[in-house]
Chain A
Amino acid sequence: MRDVLVALRKDLLLQWRGRAQVVAIFTFGAATLLLFSLAIGPDSASLRQHAAGFLWLGLLLASTLSLAEGFEREMEEQALEGLLLLPASARALYFGKAIANCAQLALLGAALVPVTVVLYDAGTTRLLPLGGVILLGTAGLSAPGTLYSAMTAQTRGRHTLLPLLLFPLVVPVLLAAVKATSLLILGDPMGQLRPWASLLAAFAVLHWALGGLLFARVVED
């Protein structure tokens, strides 16, 4: 646990030093939302109907940039290898980075909500449940995202390979997150939010457990 905190501290510090990049990633996400809204047209009912889907698609596309960026810093001077040789536990390094990635994506998601409200007229007063769904959804994205960004970090076509590997794997997370967010925006007369949020939590737990188990195999020779 102590090593996880040390790794998390290191990753948060690296993210803070690269905060200019976070602004660029947010701008990318917001631009994606703007383009999707332009594609739908001025029909406000239609915009509102699809808002949750586009919010999560924007977040997913932006996440591939931030996830890939996180591992480039580890590979530049083989810093990750240096930590493994100290020796630091590969599992601790994974959870530290995955938690930092999750925090960054959750903040990004929270920052994209007001953009969605403005562009799609898709507000909700249930902010706490929305925060919970964003946290669970980003947890479900960041765990496999961290694992796959480690796998692809040393490959030539990493920026293409990462989404190719990641997107099929996170389809269930995306579906559950979109459905749960839609229920919060459009109303939930049948009380379906809890089962969708539970499903989202189950996927997140599964991805985090698998990531913790497999990361050492990915980063060790």
Chain B
Amino acid sequence: MRPMIAVAAAGVCRRYGRRWALTDVSFELPEGALAMVTGRNGSGKTTLLRVLATAIRADRGTVSVLGHDARRDPETVRRNVALLGHRTHLYEPLTALENLAIAARFLRMDARRPALLVRLEQVGLARRADDAVQTFSAGMRQRLALARVLQQEPRIALLDEPYGHLDAPGSLLVDGVLQALKARGATVLMATHLLQRGRALCDRALVLEEGRLVFAGAPASMPEPEGAGAPGAEGP
């Protein structure tokens, strides 16, 4: 039996002002896939993830998530998708615990301290649970944002540069999170410049160039985007 299509994009275009950030992007991801999208800076990776997450709308084309049209039924799409973006979606003056508690209440999940501490332990932040986010380093914010993605228990996780700002243990933590998401059947699409890491972890790859999808297939046969994956950029 063929696996269900988790994410399908057909002819997706998106522009900012007069500049097209995405042009006619079409692909499908089966449920349970662990995929990477790569390309040079400004190639449209972030825009693609934001369109799939319904944070922004496609100007043309259709996006379907688990069979639900993103334009017609964004609520259902959002219930199944979690986005780790460039911005953390966190309230800076609030503590790590308070940020998770707000999300938990909206998600109608357990917002009590022990349940939230479990999430923070997963990302190594339990000791800083009661500290305001504005006192955190960029890496710690990234970990907390990741904890919020995990909190949503998504069927589809869209991760934009999940290794950004992270030290070596943090990068290993992301590896673990990706494997755990895959193990429980979630579909993951991550934007990354870390080609070696992506090739080792992912079973599918997409390559964008100036907003156009130029490759979709197995990571092993993926062309090396010019200027991507600079030596030394990939940690342990």
Return the CB mask of A137-167 against B: 1 if under 8 Å, else 0: 0000000000000000000000000000000
Q: Is A43 an interface residue (CB 8 A)?
A: no
A6-B106, A86-B107 in contact; A78/B87 too (CB < 8 A)? yes
Interfacial residues of chain B within 72-92, with CB under 8 A of chain A in the complex: 74-75, 78-79, 81-83, 85, 87-92
Contact B152 A73 (CB under 8 A): no
For chain A, what secondary structure do more than half of its interface residues adopt (helix, strand, loop), or is it mixed? helix
B225 to A: closest C-beta gap in Å: 27
Q: Is A79 an interface residue (CB 8 A)?
A: yes
Interfacial residues of chain A within 4-18, with CB under 8 A of chain B in the complex: 6, 9-10, 13-14, 17-18
Contact B87 A85 (CB under 8 A): no
Name which residue of chain B comes closest to A3, CB basis: B106
Q: Give the interface size bracket for A toward B.
A: 20 to 34
A216 to B179, CA, bound (A): 36
Contact B94 A82 (CB under 8 A): no
Contact A81 B102 (CB under 8 A): no
A20 to B: closest C-beta gap in Å: 11
A1 to B78, CA, bound (A): 20
Q: Is A88 an interface residue (CB 8 A)?
A: yes
A81 to B90, CA, bound (A): 10
Contacts of B53 in A (CB 8 A): 85
Partner of B148 from A10, A76, A82, A221 at Cβ < 8 Å: A82
Interfacial residues of chain B within 82-118, with CB under 8 A of chain A in the complex: 82-83, 85, 87-94, 98, 102-103, 105-107
Partner of A81 from B81, B89, B152 at Cβ < 8 Å: B89
Q: How many A-B residue pairs have CB under 8 A?
A: 69
Q: Number of B residues contacting the other chain (C-beta, 8 Å)?
A: 30
A6-B102, A78-B89, A85-B83 in contact; A13/B94 too (CB < 8 A)? yes
Contacts of B85 in A (CB 8 A): 78, 81
A6, A81, A85: residue with the most chain B Cβ atoms closer than 10 Å? A85
A6 to B74, CA, bound (A): 21
Contact A85 B94 (CB under 8 A): no
A181 to B88, CA, bound (A): 45
Contact A79 B91 (CB under 8 A): yes
Contact B78 A13 (CB under 8 A): no
Q: Is B57 an interface residue (CB 8 A)?
A: yes
Partner of B92 from A73, A81, A221 at Cβ < 8 Å: A73
A78 to B54, CA, bound (A): 14
Question: What is B's interface to A at a CB cutoff of 8 Å?
Answer: 53-57, 74-75, 78-79, 81-83, 85, 87-94, 98, 102-103, 105-107, 132, 148, 152
User: What are 30 A-B residue pairs whose CB atoms fall within 8 Å in the complex?
Assistant: A10-B91, A13-B98, A14-B93, A14-B94, A17-B94, A18-B93, A77-B89, A78-B85, A78-B88, A78-B89, A79-B89, A79-B91, A81-B55, A81-B85, A81-B87, A82-B89, A82-B90, A82-B103, A83-B89, A83-B102, A83-B103, A85-B55, A85-B78, A85-B82, A85-B83, A85-B89, A86-B106, A86-B152, A88-B106, A221-B57
